[in-house]
Amino acid sequence: MTQGRFANQTAIVTGAARGIGLGIARRLASEGARVIAWDINFDQAGSKDPEGIVIESRIVDVTDSGAIQAGIDDVISRFGRLDIFVNNAGVTGTQATVQDYQLEEWNRVLTLDLTAVFLCCRACIPPMRDQGYGRIVNIASIAGKQPTPGIAAYSAAKSGVIGFTRSMARELAGSGVLANCVAPAMAATELIDALSPTFVEESRKKIPLGRFVTVEEIASVAAFAASPECSFTTGFTFDASGGRADF
């Protein structure tokens, strides 16, 4: 690992009070980034990191465009730049077949898992373009690439994130701002509490490497996509699926 890979860089990670977002925030901060964690609920966040990693916490609801803009303005006014934006906040939504799926739940999942990614990207692009450098990392899912019966809304949103990122990356080509996705298989976070034990076990069985991906493994892939070393890849979806996705 290159120490200080993110020295003098500023990063925002959404949904970073726990789980994968916290793992990514910790990884970026451990390599020198100034990290601002956005979330709507920091109740479970540790008060002091045992390894002395410093992460700033800010209450920002990523479905609220006003709050997003205020959060970005605050970062630019205090630090003068925004180098990395990780769109991580998400929900699986209720597990049900399409014929039984409630419109209200569909809208909740699509709003957080797809529309919020658009809102955050729209807001972070201008300062990144102005400084001629930026890395946007959108956390998609294997569910956006492979059939996942029972969570079609989530699957649609994550496919949408992949398609959105491909188009946005092409718009940004030549600006110094690169945008990529990471598509993990299932990880043992609180997100999967909404899913039945049978669904979770069936998902594990579909992973050729035979286990869930760890938060640290996802953070490692995301950190590469967020780094200057990722210099010739944009609009791509990095895999963290243990062999489930083979293209």
Binding site for ligand NAD (CB under 6 A): 14-15, 17-21, 38-41, 61-63, 88-90, 112, 139, 141, 184, 186-187, 189-192
Are 226 and 29 a contacting pair, CB within 8 Å? Answer: no
CB of 25 to ligand NAD, least distance (A): 11
Give the nearer residue to ligand NAD in terms of CB position, either 174 or 210: 210
> Which entry of 38, 85, 154, 199 is annotated as an active-site residue?
154
154 in catalytic set = yes
C-alpha–C-alpha distance, residues 19 and 17, integer Å:
7
Give the nearer residue to ligand NAD in terms of CB position, either 132 or 197: 197
CB of 124 to ligand NAD, least distance (A): 15
Are 192 and 200 a contacting pair, CB within 8 Å? Answer: yes
Give the nearer residue to ligand NAD in terms of CB position, either 131 or 245: 245
CB of 73 to ligand NAD, least distance (A): 17
CB of 134 to ligand NAD, least distance (A): 20
Give the nearer residue to ligand NAD in terms of CB position, either 82 or 191: 191
Are 207 and 246 a contacting pair, CB within 8 Å? Answer: no
DSSP assignments along 79-99, one per residue: HS---EEEE----------GG
**Using alpha carbons only, what angle is made at residue 127 by residues 56 and 12, rounded to the nearest 5 degrees?**
25
The catalytic residues are 154
